[in-house]
Structure 1
Amino acid sequence: MNHEQKTTFLQRISEQNNTYRFRLPCRHETGRFLHNLLDFLFPLSQDCPDFGKMENQSARFDEIQVQLDNLLIPLEDKLPSTRKQVTEDFFTQLPGIFELFLSDAKAIAENDPAAVGIEEVIAVYPGFMAICAYRIAHLLAQCKVPLLPRMITEYAHGATGIDIHPNAVIGHSFFIDHGTGVVIGETAHIGDHVMIYQGVTLGASHVAKSLASVKRHPTIEDRVVIYANATILGGNTRIGEGSVIGGNAWVTHSVPAYSQVYHQSKVEIKQQMA
């Protein structure tokens, strides 16, 4: 690239930059905030700053509040109130989110036969991390913070392979097992004690920008189990309480409570001649 080409290219970048409506928080600091907050709430592993030292919790709490406040600086003119007020609102509601975290971890530990205890779930389960990131992002979205909630869930998406939109509504004691490839859309509603396995999609039956303000994703009632690679589509689709959706099922219509929905496939086994 010669000097003239470089100058033209840099000018084009500058022109494009002037069209953006938002300046974003730092991606690295967004991920660090998520990890610091979870380490503060669950200082179980030896690399956590407060491992075994409860006396440092108050100072750490204040540090994480400052960290969130700093993340909000680029978004300041888009906030519904001052950065200080938004930060205060978030941390005022954090104790309730912490209780939801514990209900999720307990649900996973009690339902997964491979889990040796709640400590393992909290420390290493990708499903738990993705749910925590979602709940933190959802709280920020409820505080009318733009962009940052999606940055948090996309960070978790990259780390876990689980994609949960921060505007989805999810009840307590939520369990994602294995998790890779799970997609939960923006307007999905999920009840309490729901279990989802890898590859599940709660998506829209149609994709169009004109549907942005419409409920496009399904409603999953309490105590539903959705097995691997099932796809449930549509804003009017409701899966009734206590239902079981089998693996690879494709569901675009509502099913009543306590239904069993299975994909029928034929498997043939032919023995080869020796």
Structure 2
Amino acid sequence: MTGISPAFIDHLTTVHQQARHVVPHSMSCAFLEGLLQLLFPSHSERSFNSRSEVEAYVLLLRSDLEKILYRIEERLPGKPDEIADAYFKSLPDLQQQLMDDAAAIEAGDPAAVNIDEVIRTYLGFFAVAVYRLAHQFYRMGVPLLPRVLTTYAHARTGIDIHPGANIGARFCIDHGTGIVIGETADIGNDVKIYQGVTLGALSVEKSMANLKRHPTIEDNVVIYAGATILGGKTVVGHDSIIGGNVWLTESVPPFARVYHRPQIKVSYYEDRADVLNFSI
């Protein structure tokens, strides 16, 4: 006996029988990891010693993708095999974009030894890689799968990038923990973002879901740790610097420097009896 009522068992049976169009989570994440291993030897736990081995692995991954797509076939904009073919044709461009991202991270971080180290160990690169691979599915109109992939990256890295965001070339995330980039955010080329940055929406109603709700960040912008930039009409002009902990809900022009100046009081005492004791 399970302790669960027969009526609830009947309910669960019905729910599972009626469930359709479900993207399989474990299969999708395994496909993603396999794809990253194919594209980046530094990330791979296997080695391919011949062209035939590479080709066989590509065919295996393509077959896995087609199986995933067939699970949601009725919601797709085209046939699963055609979408799978189109996706794999996009891989050379995606790999080049990601190599450019890795090079930007390596160039911008004094602690980075080389690009292989960035690809293998930097969580910021992992999050960007998953975003770009998921964004391609998003552009192709594939439902749910892009969110499954970026949610997997979020769980692994603490970096939350919506697959619908538009991010330009040579994107650099340094450290990265706590970064949030919303669905309608637009980010230009050569942008660098530090940990804890939010590119979010102001409070909006659900009816505004199809409108631009997140900010635009133009080329060559640096956003330091903890900054929050909100609103679909907010534009950060090119070559600007947004300092740490800034709260920004209005546009700033190109070459702007925006800083938050906290007031910190430092006091001096000789009598320890005057010390305030805090229990935290």
TM-score by length of 1: 0.93
State the shift of 1:7 in Å: 1.3
Q: Which residue is equivalent to 2:39?
A: 41
Preserved contact between residue 21 and residue 74 of structure 2 (Cα < 8 Å):
no
Contact 1:40–1:50, Cα closer than 8 Å, also in 2: no
SS in 2 for 1:236: coil
Partner of 2:10 in structure 1?
A: 11
Match of 1:116 among 110, 113, 117: 113
Deviations 1:117-144 (A, max 9, x none): 1010000100000001000100011111
The one-letter code matched in structure 1 to 2:22 is L
The one-letter code matched in structure 2 to 1:36 is G
Question: How well do the aligned residues superpose, as a CA RMSD in angstroms?
Answer: 1.8
What is the distance in 1 between the residues matched to 2:14 and 2:210? 31
Paired letter, 2:35: L
Aligned-partner SS, 1:81: coil
CA–CA separation in structure 2 for the residues paired with 1:141 and 1:131: 15
Contact 2:21–2:75 (CA under 8 A) maintained in structure 1? no
1:102 aligned counterpart, secondary structure: helix
| 3-state SS of 2:229 partner | strand
Query: 2:230, 2:15 → 1: CA distance?
Result: 36
- What is the distance in 2 between the residues matched to 1:15 and 1:255? 55
- 1:162 aligned onto 2:159: yes
Alignment partner for residue 220 of structure 1, among 217, 221, 246?
A: 217
Distance in structure 1 (CA, Å) of the matches to 2:200 and 2:18: 31
User: What residue ranges of structure 2 are gaps of 5+ in the alignment?
Assistant: 273-280
Equivalent position SS for 1:114: coil
Partner secondary structure for residue 133 of structure 1 = helix
- The 5 Å alignment of 1:1-274 reads 6-17=5-16, 22-44=20-42, 48-50=45-47, 53-55=49-51, 56-273=53-270
Partner of 2:33, secondary structure, is: helix
The gaps in structure 1 that reach 5 residues or longer are none
- For each residue in 1:42-95, what CA deviation from the matched residue of structure 2 results, as whole angstroms up to 9, or x when unmatched? 1125x62226x2432111111111111111121111111111100011011111
8 A contact 1:31–1:155 mirrored in 2: yes
Q: Distance in 2 between matches of 1:270 and 1:19?
A: 67
Deviation at 1:25, TM superposition (A): 2.2
Query: Alpha carbons of 1:271 and 1:18: their partners in 2 closer, same or farther (altered >3 Å)?
Result: farther
The percent identity for this pair of structures is 46
| Cα deviation, residue 11, structure 1 | 2.9
Q: Which has the larger radius of gyration?
A: 2
- Partner SS, residue 176 of structure 1: strand
Deviation larger for 262-271 or 170-179: 262-271
Length, aligned pairs only? 270
Residues 66 and 84 in structure 2, CA contact (< 8 A), matched pair in contact too: yes
Which letter does structure 2 place at the counterpart of 1:117?
N
The farther-off stretch of 144-153 and 73-82 is: 73-82
Q: Distance in 2 between matches of 1:127 and 1:119?
A: 14
Q: Distance in 2 between matches of 1:17 and 1:65?
A: 28
Residues 1:119 and 1:186: Cα distance change in structure 2 (over 3 Å): same
Shift of 1:18: 6.8
**8 Å Cα contact 1:186/1:217 also seen in 2:** yes
TM-score computed with the length of structure 2 as normaliser: 0.91
